[in-house]
Structure 1
Amino acid sequence: MKNSNIIHNIKFSKPNIQKDIVVYEGHYNNFNHGKHVHEDYTISVIQKGNMSAFLRGFNYKFDKSSIITINPDEIHSCGIIDQKEYKHRSIYIKPQTIIDILKENFSKKQLSFSNSHFNNDFLYNKLSFLTNEDNISLINKLSWECELIDIINHILKINSKANEIIELPAHKILIKKIKDYFNDNFFMQITLDDIVKEFNISKYHFVRLFKKHTFVSPHTYLMLVRVEKAKSFLQNGFSLTETAYMCGFNDQSHLNKRFKTITGLTPGEYKKFFT
């Protein structure tokens, strides 16, 4: 039987308005985030209940024991289990922030989280404290950022390839180049013929290869990229109409539909958190 007591609460905040770090809290019993990507590194903890998730091609069930780590541009999804509520919090961290930490502490220029999730009670408790909205308002910006950097350093030591040289096979290099092409040209009406011409590849081979490695179709991936770009524009004060146009959506209605399906909010509701 469908739950008549709907829980659908979402909050975003920026602990330091000068920094590109966003804290998110979601509390649901009737909503599933479809497959999507973030431009940021994402670190998440479950605060209540159990959450289903799709990560790196596998399905998981997470509870309060897990810390979830997602790399930029990594397809994933999350949602409810058996119509029961769950609450989770996430920190979204721009790649440049991670790069700066790597330079200072690991002498590396890039990394990937090794595992999609791991258990560590100490880090879980610190992350839960740091992402609590009440604590964010109480802690001064300097202390909050210092605590975050300390947590990131711990996570990089435990769950990253910061000390490894990553060699990518040829097909993964091709997929990365195609994804970069989407990210650079998200505002354009890209066709399969454009991809074929740009990369000298069979369209049938391309579609099969792309879905095998990203778990979504090329068109779906482009829509996900556009929603991520829209978030950035909205955070920086652009109007809904401007954002829809600059991100390649047909109109504001098209933006609204795609945005709410992925985030659980309309673009207007999302924008209010950053004004």
Structure 2
Amino acid sequence: MDKFIYKNKLDITALSAKMSKFSYKKHAHEEYTLGVTLNGVQQYNLEGVSQTSYKNGVMLFNPEQVHDGKAGNFKDGLDYVMLYIKPELFLEALEKKDIVTFSKPIVYEDKLKNDILNLSYSILNNKDITLCNELYLNLMSNFTSKDFSLEYTNETEFIKKAKEIIYYNLDEVLDIDEISKELSISKFQFIRIFKANTGITPYQYFLNCKIVHAKKHLDTTKDLYGTVVEFGFTDLSHLNRHFKRVYGVTAYEYISKS
């Protein structure tokens, strides 16, 4: 049986997941995402490269890295935990101003694994915020080494501008013709260049942004129908369907369990 539990504290979201037949569609998160495979095998494509995390594997995702995900063997199932950490909080703990990225997608490091588990379980079990702060700093101490991080290579100005245009028009219908006109290229060139640089099409990026911001809106308001209207979904079932493809639960289930 597939089960996804989300809890929030310190601007960090913790996820406890059990899944077998469910599979994530291509998506990306705005946060740094850290996870531990507890049981089973987790398989996913990260920016087009196949990855496999076995038991005790620590998965490291940079902000906006496109990936999917599934259990390696649905008969055995898959148990794992994840932490979603906002970039500004991640960089504050590192005392850095510039974005950094993980140099390896999967590592097997006992201290890092245990620090992720300690913080995730504390958030999931609603432990004292002071304890969570201390556990968060313990976790972040792992990333002061160059073994885990490197300087970020900036996106091209073209891709950055394209993302901004899409990002600031989430409540409207995606108009590829209008965007490509603003960027002074054909719509087919735009789609081709965008996918080559991000791993997903402009429409997939548009939907992903809508879902990410719908989740933020739900975290603050718990208002399902307000979220439908705010982000231009056709109806609640439309929001639920796309929400589940990224988070494993419907928007309704998310606010009911959080």
Aligned residues: 256
Gaps of 5+ in 2: none
Alignment partner of 1:12 out of 6, 11, 19 = 6
Spell out the pairing of 1:20-169 with structure 2 (5 A cutoff).
20-83=11-74, 84-103=76-95, 107-132=96-121, 137=125, 139-157=127-145, 158-161=147-150, 164=151, 166-168=152-154
1:268 equivalent in alignment to 2:252: yes
Greater share of strand: 2
1:219 equivalent in alignment to 2:197: no
Gaps of 5+ in 1: 1-6
* Cα separation, 2, equivalents of 1:109 and 1:211: 25
CA shift at 1:131, angstroms? 1.8
Residues 27-52 of structure 1 deviation map (CA, whole Å, 9 limit, x = unaligned)? 01110111111121111111111111
- 8 Å contact 1:241–1:252 — kept in the other structure? yes
Amino acid at match of 2:30: E
1:255 equivalent in alignment to 2:239: yes
Secondary structure, counterpart of 2:3 in structure 1: strand
* Cα separation, 1, equivalents of 2:212 and 2:127: 29
- 8 Å contact 1:102–1:110 — kept in the other structure? no
Amino acid at match of 1:257: R
* Cα separation, 1, equivalents of 2:94 and 2:112: 19
Q: Which moved more, 1:186-195 or 1:88-97?
A: 186-195
Q: Residue 126 and residue 177 in structure 1: after superposition, are their counterparts in 2 closer, same or farther (change >3 A)? A: same
CA-based RMSD: 2.0
Amino acid at match of 1:152: M
CA shift at 1:190, angstroms? 2.1
Aligned to 1:233: 217
* Cα separation, 1, equivalents of 2:194 and 2:53: 28
* Cα separation, 1, equivalents of 2:87 and 2:6: 19
Residues 191-238 of structure 1 deviation map (CA, whole Å, 9 limit, x = unaligned)? 111211221122111111111222222111111111111110111124
Point out which structure has higher relative CO (alpha carbons under 8 A, 6+ apart). 2
The percent identity for this pair of structures is: 27
* Cα separation, 1, equivalents of 2:227 and 2:217: 6
Secondary structure, counterpart of 1:132 in structure 2: helix
* Cα separation, 2, equivalents of 1:240 and 1:139: 28
Q: Residue 272 and residue 136 in structure 1: after superposition, are their counterparts in 2 closer, same or farther (change >3 A)? A: closer
